[in-house]
């Protein structure tokens, strides 16, 4: 019997936690209670990027983390993090669970020594701010937006005409409260969990980034398991993934209603987001095509979504 | 001759020179970030990462410099109850343990940087391979090990006690006081 | 039981190494390494922890506050604040020593460090007290005791460290189910929460000072307050008084984050020191940079080994075990507060404040959560309790400095400081038992 250590980046109560709990539940069930998984929430076992290295070396069993923290170790995964690559939950499911996803799992295994066995879906990073409603890029002009230290996100905001402020997560809430920055973007579940409604008023339903958070297992730990246990781990990952999609559907509508009730004003981007999409894809994509493995990789992804190749 | 002394003085305090430079630069960078954000509504995307990594380098070189000054805090009151020799011997042994720990850590960090680290891993906004940034660990801990040996060489073989800068400051204050009583 | 044997190895080798005279950072690192090897875990984890424990943006506040403090000394900002406090001494019994406490409060509002406060105030106030016929030991003792106000009144380096340690730790779901949601910890919140406790500790010290001075017959000057002198001190100290307003005002009006406030403090000091007071020399700037270097290197190396040590505790769920055994003794909140404060006072006698906060926060905060204690309130009590350690032997940084200034023995000062330690402890208990005293101000200001 073994208790696997699972590093979880976020605090309890979010999609990462939900994926981890379900994984543990199914793993116990499939192994007849022989193995289980203990979740260490909130980065207790190190930063998300550290956990990828730890798992690769074999000093950590599992980790659940945001996809952009996998990209530095396996660049092709970056295709999923380009702005407007994923435009709906269905797109996300098609990509992660279809042939593109299989390819990404293989690449990550080859590049980073970790195996992706499940996905948490956290939804689109919606834009919130405390100043005024925003529906067009022009209305963003006077809003100081906080972003994580992430080149693609910084470049996307640049494409929309503003310089976003990179800021550590630990400083963000206070900075919003004090007005050092006016806005930020994060999935609804995070906005709700972090009580951003206390310091933000306007929400714009942007869809430029869909947060997906893979569950990875150390390949060396995985190979140490018996064939049945390996199967159990994979099945538990699949079950947890399915659960995560359902959790997102249930939560998002509930949270939107509650945030509205608390006084937040939610708006959709003007003109079906066309201006936002055009600016982002025309200015950001070309810059990252090489780093994600070239035009073919990109077109492969677009084809699997039934969209026009470039 | 004179040139050699200058060189030795620089090498002897190399961490101090590096650290003062790093500290000044990251403090100025952070100030520029505040100014450019508050006065020009323009955020520089690379300052946070660059200053954070400069800060890490500053810390580990600074730790080595602190070792050179014999400034790492120890609990020493228990030695007052024992013959003075005991304290000297015990501290020497514990420094030997420190040297062993550092050597092992240098091996671990060398192994990590050159064999275990993912090759693709680059810093998020600057795009510098993390490998080079992590290189501070084997470098600084090697330097620190030399400093520990240096302090003990002076102390045990040459008989020059390198006092930590805090008690030096306190002594300076006492010297300036006319009604100096020998008490500490 | 794996847990009990690992606790024995981890803490046994830690204490053993400390007693051998190994630096604290070495004792932490080596005991963690031994435990890793015992658990058959790969110690290569140390490497990433070394890098990421230190590589965090908010942590840059530490060298920045140290540098700001050193520069303020050299720029003559400290001296003017102390003169201002001194001008209030007047005809009251124990007036000049009360002015020393006041000076520590003023200086505390620009400095984040206890020993720096003691040094800045003591340098001027101890000789001033002696000149008015005060006993040297008494003069040193009150300054060493009031020096702790430097870390209770914001800004405060220990609060930054507590904030960083606590931000990553959320309340366990069981505690939330029992007591409802806990507020989030943030450094500005801790800063603002420190105001009232700073006043409380200062008040207890002032009361004790009045009683002692009455007994000793230390009267004030016979010619009353000199309003000329006060006005003059105000005028001369204008830019010094402005310093805390710039630092704290900037944070609370949203111009900058707490980390950035330390940076602004540096440039404000440079500006005042070079252009207004015209006292800041290039040489003292270099000296300040150098002091900041080894002080930061020393403390942050401890942060690395303390993080590894803490990781072991977390992975082996030792904080939970400690909490359980503590709760099995009693579930009376006041008794547990008493146990925690007594423990912190004991630790504060031997250990450097920042190291103690780094090591103990991961162990004690979960206990606080499981009792429904507010994390911000808890942080303030931890900082206040450990602050008393500055004035208690054997390791009492404020004592060393006061002793250096006055040329009195550590033993004598610690003896004279006992009544003040007692007064501060009373203050800490008041702060601990009445959480609203700490929390009303942040609440009032909407935090
Ligand atoms: Na302070
Ligand atoms: Na002490």
| Mean of pLDDT over chain B | 85
Whole-number Å distance, alpha carbon C152 to ligand 1 midpoint, is 6
pTM score, whole prediction? 0.85
Check residue B180 and give its pLDDT. Answer: 34
Cβ atoms A146, A176 nearer than 8 A: yes
* Closest ligand, as measured to the CA of C387: 2
Interchain CB contact of A168 with B (< 8 Å): yes
* CB atoms B165 and C297 under 8 Å: no
Chains in touch with B (3+ beta-carbon pairs under 8 Å) read A, C
Whole-number Å distance, alpha carbon B89 to ligand 2 midpoint, is 25
Q: Average pLDDT for residues A7-24, to the nearest whole number?
A: 89
Interchain CB contact of B119 with C (< 8 Å): no
A96 burial type by CB count under 10 A (0-12 exposed, 13-18 middle, 19+ buried):
buried
Check residue C301 and give its pLDDT. Answer: 92
Cβ atoms C100, C142 nearer than 8 A: yes
* CB atoms B137 and C51 under 8 Å: yes
Check residue B73 and give its pLDDT. Answer: 80
> Taking CB atoms and an 8 Å cutoff, what residues of chain C touch A173?
184, 186
Q: Any alpha helices (H) in C132-217, and if so which ranges? A: 136-146, 149-152, 157-167, 173-179, 187-193, 195-216
The distance of A49 to chain B (nearest Cα, Å) reads 9
Percent of chain B at pLDDT above 90? 48
Using CB atoms, pick whichever of C58, C251, C311 lies closest to residue A168. Answer: C58
pLDDT at C9 over 50: yes
- Residue of chain C minimizing CA distance to A182: C254
Cα C345 from Cα A158, distance rounded (Å): 53
Residues A149-160 have pLDDT tens digits of: 888 999 999 999
How far are the Cα atoms of B63, C9, C29, C53, C312 from residue C32, in angstroms, in the given order?
19, 9, 5, 15, 7
Cβ atoms C344, C360 nearer than 8 A: yes
pLDDT at C300 over 50: yes
Find which of B53, B116, B120 to mutate to test the A interface (most A CBs within 10 Å of its CB).
B120
- How is residue C373 written in tokens? 């204690």
> Taking CB atoms and an 8 Å cutoff, what residues of chain C touch B93?
20
* CB atoms B118 and A164 under 8 Å: no
- Residue of chain C minimizing CA distance to B135: C51
Cα A184 from Cα C86, distance rounded (Å): 48
Strands A165-166 and A145-147: parallel
Cα C392 from Cα A190, distance rounded (Å): 46
Residues C134-181 have pLDDT tens digits of: 999 999 999 999 999 999 998 898 998 898 888 767 777 788 888 887
Question: What are φ and ψ of residue A3, in 5° steps?
Answer: -105, 110
End-to-end CA distance of chain C: 44
Residues A59-76 have pLDDT tens digits of: 899 999 999 889 888 888
Cβ atoms B98, C22 nearer than 8 A: yes
* CB atoms C52 and A40 under 8 Å: no
> Which residues are CB-contacts of A114 (< 8 A; sequence separation ≥ 6)?
A52, A55, A56, A63, A73, A108, A216, A217, A218, A219
How far are the Cα atoms of A94, A279, B173, C406 from residue A305, in angstroms, in the given order?
7, 21, 75, 79
Q: Average pLDDT for residues C63-68, to the nearest whole number?
A: 90
Cβ atoms C122, B169 nearer than 8 A: no
Q: Average pLDDT for residues C290-294, to the nearest whole number?
A: 91
Q: Average pLDDT for residues B11-32, to the nearest whole number?
A: 93
Q: SS3 of C355, please? A: helix
> Taking CB atoms and an 8 Å cutoff, what residues of chain C touch B26?
60
Whole-number Å distance, alpha carbon C159 to ligand 1 midpoint, is 9
Whole-number Å distance, alpha carbon C114 to ligand 1 midpoint, is 8
Check residue B139 and give its pLDDT. Answer: 97
Whole-number Å distance, alpha carbon C389 to ligand 2 midpoint, is 4
> Taking CB atoms and an 8 Å cutoff, what residues of chain C touch A59?
41-42, 44-45
Handedness of CA C350, C351, C357, C359 (dihedral sign): negative
* CB atoms C447 and A177 under 8 Å: yes
Apex CA B9: angle with CA B7 and CA B15, to 5°?
105
* CB atoms C168 and A44 under 8 Å: yes
> Taking CB atoms and an 8 Å cutoff, what residues of chain C touch B20?
286, 289-290, 293
Q: How confident is the model at residue C218 (pLDDT cuts 50, 70, 90)?
A: confident
Question: What are φ and ψ of residue A7, in 5° steps?
Answer: -85, 130
> Taking CB atoms and an 8 Å cutoff, what residues of chain C touch B97?
17, 22, 26, 30
> Which residues are CB-contacts of C191 (< 8 A; sequence separation ≥ 6)?
C154, C155, C156, C159, C248, C251, C258
Check residue B2 and give its pLDDT. Answer: 65
CA A205 to the chain's CA centroid: 16
Residues C78-101 have pLDDT tens digits of: 889 888 888 887 777 788 899 999
> Taking CB atoms and an 8 Å cutoff, what residues of chain B touch A74?
120
Beta carbons within 10 angstroms of residue A254's beta carbon: 12
Cβ atoms C286, C74 nearer than 8 A: no
Q: Average pLDDT for residues A98-127, to the nearest whole number?
A: 94
Q: Average pLDDT for residues A230-249, to the nearest whole number?
A: 96
Q: Average pLDDT for residues A119-123, to the nearest whole number?
A: 95
* CB atoms B43 and A165 under 8 Å: yes
Check residue A65 and give its pLDDT. Answer: 93
Whole-number Å distance, alpha carbon B138 to ligand 2 midpoint, is 34
pLDDT at C188 over 90: no
Whole-number Å distance, alpha carbon A222 to ligand 1 midpoint, is 51
The distance of B43 to chain A (nearest Cα, Å) reads 5
Check residue C131 and give its pLDDT. Answer: 86
Find which of C162, C186, C191 to mutate to test the A interface (most A CBs within 10 Å of its CB).
C186
Residues C105-114 have pLDDT tens digits of: 988 888 888 8
- Residue of chain C minimizing CA distance to B99: C26
* C197 vs C69, residue with greater confidence: C197
Check residue B183 and give its pLDDT. Answer: 30
Which residues have C-beta under 5 Å from ligand 2, the single-atom ion?
Answer: C 349, 389, 392, 395-396
Check residue C347 and give its pLDDT. Answer: 86
Q: Which residues pair with A210 in a beta bridge?
A: A124
Q: Which of A107-121, B116-130, C287-301, C385-399 is predicted most confidently?
A: A107-121
* Closest ligand, as measured to the CA of C114: 1
The distance of C32 to chain B (nearest Cα, Å) reads 11
pLDDT at B181 over 50: no
Q: How confident is the model at residue A145 (pLDDT cuts 50, 70, 90)?
A: very high
Check residue C2 and give its pLDDT. Answer: 54
DSSP one-letter string for C116-148: HHHHHHHHHHHHHHHHTT--HHHHHHHHHHHTT
Apex CA A241: angle with CA A237 and CA A242, to 5°?
120
Q: Any alpha helices (H) in A76-226, and if so which ranges? A: 89-97, 99-112, 151-159, 169-178, 188-193, 219-223
The distance of B21 to chain A (nearest Cα, Å) reads 24
Note which residues in 78-97 of chain B have CB less than 8 A from chain C: 78-79, 87, 90-91, 93-95, 97
Whole-number Å distance, alpha carbon B117 to ligand 1 midpoint, is 41
Residues C345-401 have pLDDT tens digits of: 988 887 778 878 887 887 889 889 888 999 999 999 999 999 998 888 777 888 888
| Mean of pLDDT over chain C | 87
Check residue C196 and give its pLDDT. Answer: 95
Q: Average pLDDT for residues A132-158, to the nearest whole number?
A: 92
* CB atoms B101 and C26 under 8 Å: yes
Strands A202-204 and A265-267: parallel
Check residue C222 and give its pLDDT. Answer: 63
Residues A168-207 have pLDDT tens digits of: 776 788 788 878 899 999 999 989 888 899 899 999 999 9
Chains in touch with C (3+ beta-carbon pairs under 8 Å) read A, B
Percent of chain C at pLDDT above 90? 38
| Mean of pLDDT over chain A | 92
Q: Average pLDDT for residues A236-258, to the nearest whole number?
A: 94
Check residue C266 and give its pLDDT. Answer: 94
Q: How confident is the model at residue C182 (pLDDT cuts 50, 70, 90)?
A: confident
Check residue B179 and give its pLDDT. Answer: 36
**Residue A67 DSSP label:** G
pLDDT at B182 over 60: no
Q: How confident is the model at residue B177 (pLDDT cuts 50, 70, 90)?
A: very low
Whole-number Å distance, alpha carbon C386 to ligand 2 midpoint, is 8
């Amino acid at each position: 019997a073994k208790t696997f250590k699972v590093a979880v980046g976020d605090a309890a109560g979010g999609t990462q936690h939900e994926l981890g709990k379900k994984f543990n539940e199914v793993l116990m069930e499939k192994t007849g209670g022989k193995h289980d998984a203990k979740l260490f929430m909130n980065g207790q076992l190190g930063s998300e990027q550290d956990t990828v290295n730890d798992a690769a070396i074999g000093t950590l069993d599992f980790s659940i983390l945001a996809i952009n923290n996998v990209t530095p170790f396996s660049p092709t995964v970056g295709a999923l993090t380009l702005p407007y690559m994923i435009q709906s939950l269905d797109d996300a499911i098609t990509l992660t669970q279809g042939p593109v996803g299989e390819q990404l799992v293989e690449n990550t295994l080859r590049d980073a020594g970790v195996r992706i066995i499940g996905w948490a879906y956290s939804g689109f990073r919606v834009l919130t701010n405390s100043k005024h409603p925003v529906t067009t890029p022009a209305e963003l002009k006077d809003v100081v937006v906080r972003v994580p230290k992430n080149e693609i996100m910084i470049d996307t905001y640049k494409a929309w005409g503003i310089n976003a402020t990179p800021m550590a997560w630990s400083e963000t809430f206070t900075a919003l409260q004090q007005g050092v920055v006016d806005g930020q973007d994060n999935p609804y579940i995070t906005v709700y969990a972090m009580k951003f409604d206390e310091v933000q008023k306007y929400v714009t339903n942007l869809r430029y980034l869909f947060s997906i958070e893979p569950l990875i297992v150390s390949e060396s730990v995985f190979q140490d398991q018996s064939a049945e246990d390996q199967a159990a781990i994979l099945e538990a990952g699949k079950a947890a993934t399915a659960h995560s999609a359902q959790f997102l559907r249930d939560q998002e509508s509930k949270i939107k209603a509650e945030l509205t009730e608390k006084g937040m004003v939610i708006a959709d981007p003007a003109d079906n987001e066309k201006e936002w999409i055009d600016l982002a894809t025309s200015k950001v994509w070309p810059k990252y095509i090489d780093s994600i493995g070239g035009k073919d990789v990109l077109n492969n992804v677009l084809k699997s979504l039934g969209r026009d190749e470039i | 001759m004179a040139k050699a002394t200058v060189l030795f003085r620089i090498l002897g305090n190399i961490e101090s020179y590096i650290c003062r430079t790093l500290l000044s630069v990251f403090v100025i960078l952070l100030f520029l970030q505040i100014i450019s954000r508050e006065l020009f509504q323009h955020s520089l995307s690379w300052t946070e990462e660059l200053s954070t990594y400069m800060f890490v380098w500053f810390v580990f070189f600074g730790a080595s410099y602190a070792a050179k000054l014999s400034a790492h805090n120890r609990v020493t009151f228990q030695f007052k109850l024992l013959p003075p020799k005991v304290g000297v011997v015990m501290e020497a042994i514990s420094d030997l343990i420190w040297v062993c720990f550092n050597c092992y850590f240098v091996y671990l960090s060398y192994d990590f940087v050159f064999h275990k680290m993912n090759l693709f891993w680059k810093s998020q906004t600057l795009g510098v391979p993390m490998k080079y940034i992590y290189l501070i660990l084997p470098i600084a801990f090697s330097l620190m090990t030399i400093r520990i040996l240096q302090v003990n060489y002076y102390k045990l073989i040459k008989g020059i006690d390198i006092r930590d800068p805090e008690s030096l400051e306190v002594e300076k204050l006492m010297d300036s006081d006319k009604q100096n009583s020998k008490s500490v | 039981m794996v847990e009990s044997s690992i606790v024995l190895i981890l803490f046994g080798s830690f204490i053993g190494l400390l007693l051998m005279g190994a630096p604290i950072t070495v004792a932490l690192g080596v005991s963690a390494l031994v435990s890793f090897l015992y658990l058959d875990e790969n110690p290569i984890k140390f490497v990433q922890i070394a890098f990421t424990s230190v590589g965090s943006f908010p942590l840059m506040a530490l060298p920045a506050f140290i540098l700001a403090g050193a520069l303020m000394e050299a720029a003559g900002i400290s001296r003017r604040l102390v003169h201002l406090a001194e001008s209030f001494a007047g005809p009251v019994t124990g007036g000049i020593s009360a002015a020393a406490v006041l000076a520590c409060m003023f200086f505390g509002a620009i400095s984040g460090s206890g020993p720096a406060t003691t040094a800045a105030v003591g340098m001027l106030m101890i000789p001033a007290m002696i000149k008015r016929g005060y006993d040297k030991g008494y003069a040193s003792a009150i300054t060493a005791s009031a020096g702790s106000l430097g870390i209770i009144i914001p800004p405060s380096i220990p609060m930054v460290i507590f904030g960083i340690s606590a931000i990553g730790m959320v309340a366990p779901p069981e505690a939330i189910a029992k007591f409802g949601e806990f507020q989030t910890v943030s450094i500005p919140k801790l800063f603002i929460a420190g105001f009232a406790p700073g006043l409380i500790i200062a008040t207890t010290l002032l009361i004790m000072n009045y009683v002692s001075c009455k007994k000793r017959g230390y009267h004030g000057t016979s010619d009353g307050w000199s309003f000329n002198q006060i006005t003059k001190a105000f005028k001369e100290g204008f830019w010094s008084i402005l310093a805390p307003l710039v630092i704290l005002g900037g944070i609370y009006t949203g111009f900058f984050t707490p980390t950035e406030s330390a940076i602004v403090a540096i440039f404000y000091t440079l500006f005042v020191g070079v252009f207004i007071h015209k006292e800041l020399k290039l040489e003292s700037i270099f000296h300040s940079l150098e002091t900041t270097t080894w002080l930061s290197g020393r403390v942050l190396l401890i942060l690395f080994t303390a993080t590894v040590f803490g990781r072991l505790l977390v992975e082996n769920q030792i904080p939970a075990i400690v909490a359980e055994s503590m709760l099995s003794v009693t579930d009376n909140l006041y008794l547990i507060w008493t146990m925690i404060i007594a423990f912190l006072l004991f630790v504060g006698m031997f250990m450097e404040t920042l190291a103690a906060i780094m090591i103990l926060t991961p162990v004690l905060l979960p206990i606080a959560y499981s009792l429904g204690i507010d994390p911000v309130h808890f942080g303030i009590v931890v900082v206040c309790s450990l602050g008393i350690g500055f004035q208690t032997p054997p390791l009492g940084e404020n004592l060393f400095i006061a002793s250096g200034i006055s040329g009195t023995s550590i033993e004598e000062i610690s003896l004279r400081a006992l009544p003040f330690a007692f007064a501060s402890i009373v203050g800490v208990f008041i702060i601990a038992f009445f959480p609203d005293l700490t929390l009303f101000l942040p609440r009032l200001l909407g935090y």
